Structure 1
Amino acid sequence: MNKKIMLLTAAVFLTMILSACGNNSSSEANGKVTLTLFSTMSNSGERKAFEEVIREFEKEHQQIRIDANFPGNSYEDMIRVKMGANDMPDLFDTHGWAKLRYSEYVADLKEMDWVKQLDPSLDQILKDQDGKVYAYPLNQAKDGLSFNANLLKEYGIEVPRTLDELKSALLTVKEKSKGDVVPLWIPGGDNSNIAQVFDELATPLLITDQKHQYGKELENGSFDWSLYTPLAQFMKDLKDQDLLNKDVLTAKLSQAPELMAQNKIAFTFVGGSLGPEATELNSSIKVGTMPVPAIHKGDEQSWIGGERFTVAAWKGSKHLKEAKQFIDFLAKPENAKKIAEGTSSETALKQVKAKNYYSTFYDQYEQVKIEPYFDRKYLPSGMWAVMATTGQELLAGSITPEQLSKKMEEEYKRLKKQ
């Protein structure tokens, strides 16, 4: 190899290294700025609304381009790598961990105009005692169960209010459909959807009932994990009695709209755009939503929620000004409304009212209290993955309910020390 070629090769190699180590955002030769954005949105219907607003922003701000990424199940792993390298995306979703996990990476948004309109119920999640605002919430979650309203009417099933009533409803679906309808459908091909079920039901089991409140014990590390076993036993019983889909360990989230449209699902913990997508496939379908059922006698139902999707700005971004411009654009009333309706959720801004597919049901249950996600408030970071894998193992029959609780205890103690 001659000397000129060697020098050229070395220069190219050095350029590649410097490019790899640089900020995720970039300034192009023509003066345009590209902002990288990472989101946990995994549903195509939800992404559609968000991407439409992104395109409108790019039309209005022609010198700024948004490089939107939706890595799905890989999101947390990718972000952890970027956190370790201190090379975060310009804009990213804090997915419930704005303060606990991302606090040192996010820019303070408290001076932005939309903050005055933020729903106070989100203050404990997105603000600290000094008033710092960690992220902009694209919408608010009210998680519970979705159900096929037509099938429940056909089978004479009242919308369940308690876990016992839910179990009875599932048995009725199995009997009256002669096995043609899945009583409770879980897309466990991604085990985070199994974790979702455990996370939602842990709240009525361990938090909301006055005689069964263990929040302090969970927070200080003294919780008796045998109290978690009834939840694992409930899920095992559902599997043993064929009240779950037979492919619970392989079913994909993307299958939900079509199966609901075909009247193959009675209940599911899948929410979001499931209703509108299923109805688009079959106009006669009506998907309802309900709060999480109460477990203990005398307790009330509850929504599980907080912010669903957010956009935070990386404080180390070279284009923080442009990143905040994008967040301001998202917070315009017409855009906040479009995203909330596109994700079948409520807005996080007091002045903006969204009319979405589930509005009738949200109005019906407007007095029901919203409880924060169990893992986000009471468990150390990393426990979501533990709930996912232990739940998967339970449904696969490789561990018992008691063993599940023991594994949860071991990982809880280990992660709490970190």
Structure 2
Amino acid sequence: MKKSFFSVMAIGLSLSVVLSACSTRPSSSSTGASTPAPANSPAAAQSSAPAPADAKASGDKIKLTVYSTISELPNQEMMKGIAADFTKENPNISVEFQFPGAEYENILKVKMAANDLPDVFDTHGWAVIRYGKFLADLRDEPWAKDLTDTIKPVVTDKDGKVEALVMSEAKDGISYNAEILDKYGITPPKTFDELMAAADKIKTGSNGAVTPFFMSGVDNGMIGGFSDLYATSMFISPATNDAQTLLNGTFDWNKWTPLAQKLADMGKKGYINKDVLTAKYADMPQLFAQGKVAFVFGAPSFADEVYKYNKNAKIGIAPLTSMVEGDGQSFSGGERYTMGAWKDGKHLAESKKLIAFFAKPANMSKIANATKLPAGLKNIESNHEFTAYYKQFESIRVFPYFDRVYLPNGMWDVMCKTGVALLAGTVTPQQFSDKMKSEYLRLRSQ
């Protein structure tokens, strides 16, 4: 997913022209249009001075630019609809959404380097670590006290600064085909050994017609995602863990070899689709709908695509299984969709006002039902097919994505590509570990 330096700069230059008047695991999409302003609104004021706190009283017209990682078109339209409601209440403020898709991260890096960020932007898992110094402190906003117990530590720095409103909280574990599990008398596994036993039962019982796990070598984030999820289960969630050594650079990378071996064994035993190297993520929903796939690692964000092929499909979700004896289950995640305010933006007061509008319970419910993810605020009602699951597992621990905390920037790509090579048989589990070590040390030194 990484682009060359020259591609990134080209994107940055083109954006600077388009946006000069203004202050990610996603697919590409159009940039979206501004929420229409009333026909009789005055023209936007072109001023380098900060806007008055009460812009309506001054008669100024303000445009807020919002960047989001949301990739699904219906959800983009849902966000624009909430912004349109905001403009109805605040006719002097228009809202322009940008949805850069797969280029989101690269574009934001260019804009950070230029210290020219959007008024409001999605922190996509990096609120504290990457974007903290660019974000306004939102701890005094009325909604801040209602951040969920699982998400509050993720978007709050060591000094208590709240970096962003979390509209949707990521909880990645295992999505499963409930009909297949029922057919073979399988209860959602709680340990990795139970998961492998279930995979063997499904493969054997179906004579290979059902693939226990679907992965894609083309969209290699599915393979990298397995390593990322289970690295947490092996090295972080157990009571005796390797969190500190990963942070201080002394981690023994030979410990990675057993994790790589488990992935290799899954491939050799036929638990992963045979066409893993050429399969695409887009192939999975139809196969899932046809009852040919049992488990998918991660959240059920593909559900609506499954329903297009089988409206009666039954999808369940479960926490990630434990890997170490004596440990419990967990989710990986934290921030999924957020709104943070650029601290140096010309319209900071209006940006906070917009974020507060999105934080209204009715709007948070609308977002939860559209994204099918738990809200980042307490006591938000939702009514979709996964609501009961999130309620059932609300006490399960949620750990930040492993690579976002314990690996230097650039290691995600290493995990994805080396995982593909492992399943292709061109690297061994030990060579996977050696590659992780060399790249970890190289990237930490940059």
**TM-score range, shorter-chain basis?**
0.7 to 0.9
Which residue does the alignment assign to 1:391? 419
Q: 1:115 to 1:366 in 2, by over 3 A?
A: closer
Q: Deviations over 1:84-143 (max 9, x none)?
A: 222222222111111111112112222211112112332322112333211111121221
What amino acid maps onto 1:151 in structure 2? Answer: I
What amino acid maps onto 2:329 in structure 1? Answer: Q
1:22 to 2:20 alignment: yes
1:294 to 2:307 alignment: no
1:64 to 2:88 alignment: no
Aligned residue among 135, 153, 156 for 1:127: 156
1:161 to 2:190 alignment: yes
Aligned residue among 95, 98, 101 for 2:124: 95
CA contact under 8 A between 1:40 and 1:95: conserved in structure 2? yes
Q: Deviations over 1:295-337 (max 9, x none)?
A: 1222211122222211112223223233222211110000111
1 CA distance for matches of 2:150 and 2:119? 27
Which residue does the alignment assign to 1:242? 270
2 CA distance for matches of 1:70 and 1:192? 20
Which residue does the alignment assign to 1:375? 403
1 CA distance for matches of 2:108 and 2:425? 32
Aligned residue among 292, 299, 310 for 1:271: 299
Which residue does the alignment assign to 1:230? 258
2 CA distance for matches of 1:49 and 1:199? 31
How far did 1:261 drift?
Answer: 2.1
Q: Mapping of 1:10-409 within 5 angstroms? A: 19=17, 22=20, 24-25=22-23, 30-31=43-44, 32-44=61-73, 46-47=75-76, 49-211=78-240, 213-279=241-307, 281-409=309-437
CA contact under 8 A between 1:386 and 1:408: conserved in structure 2? yes
How far did 1:145 drift?
Answer: 0.5
Report which stretch shifted further, 64-73 or 78-87.
64-73
Give the 3-state SS of the residue equivalent to 1:407 in structure 2.
Answer: helix
Give the 3-state SS of the residue equivalent to 2:332 in structure 1.
Answer: strand
1 CA distance for matches of 2:83 and 2:300? 20
How far did 1:215 drift?
Answer: 0.9
- When normalised by structure 2's length, the TM-score is 0.82
CA contact under 8 A between 2:175 and 2:300: conserved in structure 1? no
- When normalised by structure 1's length, the TM-score is 0.87
CA contact under 8 A between 1:314 and 1:320: conserved in structure 2? yes
CA contact under 8 A between 1:98 and 1:134: conserved in structure 2? yes
2 CA distance for matches of 1:414 and 1:201? 23
Name the structure with the higher helix share: 1
User: Structure 2: which 5+ residue stretches go unaligned?
Assistant: 1-13, 24-33, 45-60
2 CA distance for matches of 1:345 and 1:63? 32
Which residue does the alignment assign to 1:3? none
1 CA distance for matches of 2:80 and 2:418? 35
1 CA distance for matches of 2:194 and 2:211? 17
1 CA distance for matches of 2:184 and 2:422? 30
2 CA distance for matches of 1:275 and 1:18? 37
How many residue pairs align between the two structures? 402
